[in-house]
Amino acid sequence: MFAAKRLGKELVKWSLDLPDTTSADIRAIVTLLQAKQKLPPGIELVKADDFREWLVDIQVLDANPLYMNQTFRLSFLFSDSYPIEAPEVVFLKVPPAATDPANPQQQSQSQTPFAGRPIPIHPHIYSNGIICLDLLGSAGWSPVQSVESVCMSLQSMLTGNTKNERPQGDEQFCQSMGVRGPDGWSGYRGKGRGRGLRDVRFAYDDDTV
């Protein structure tokens, strides 16, 4: 599978000692990565049990008061055509709990409760976690991009933001999209399937935030 080969290479790139092969068991790769990560600062791979969805936590490393001491969770959904086709990337809202629901065994080793993951406030990020960013659209995406480069772009987008506000029409847009499920977003259902982010036509008219 095309996507599996590419994603396997991305995992190998982040490890320290794995050979450049895509045949290694993905769970073994992830176990090694969690112990010896080679990701840029402020980026942590949380879960990658398959080539369908990965969860990644990011932090803003500068002193931006909007995001100080906060960690945000991204969901990457991959199609079989990745990296030719962009992944679906959204922020996830995860409530505080005793352990991280995405990684309960690792979290249970810590005495600190899981703080939760909010959706960052930003003029290009809707309150349901959908991101208006040309890089993630079909016109702006390039196969040279990767999970790592997307995370770094989002870190940069948050770092440069000074506006504590959501996009215009946030409430109406979130209502129209509905709830995210295994068949896409529940809004505007057609032929039994939900709406996908590739069906959304964003207007990328503000590059100042």
pLDDT digits (tens, 9 = 90+) for 31-55: 555 545 678 899 998 888 777 888 9
pTM: 0.82
- 8-22, 30-44, 69-83, 154-168: range with lowest mean pLDDT: 8-22
Phi, psi of 96 (to 5 degrees): -60, 150
Q: Which residues contact 193 (CB under 8 A, 6 or more apart)?
A: 183, 184
3 state DSSP class of 193: strand
pLDDT category at 184 given cuts 50, 70, 90 is confident
Domain assignment present for residue 83? The answer is yes
The catalytic site residues sit at 132
* CATH number for 74: 3.10.110.10
Domain assignment present for residue 18? The answer is no
6, 26, 73, 135 from 129: Cα distances, Å: 26, 27, 10, 16
What is the domain count for the chain?
Answer: 1
Q: Which domain holds residue 48?
A: 38-95+132-170
- Provide the pLDDT for residue 72: 98
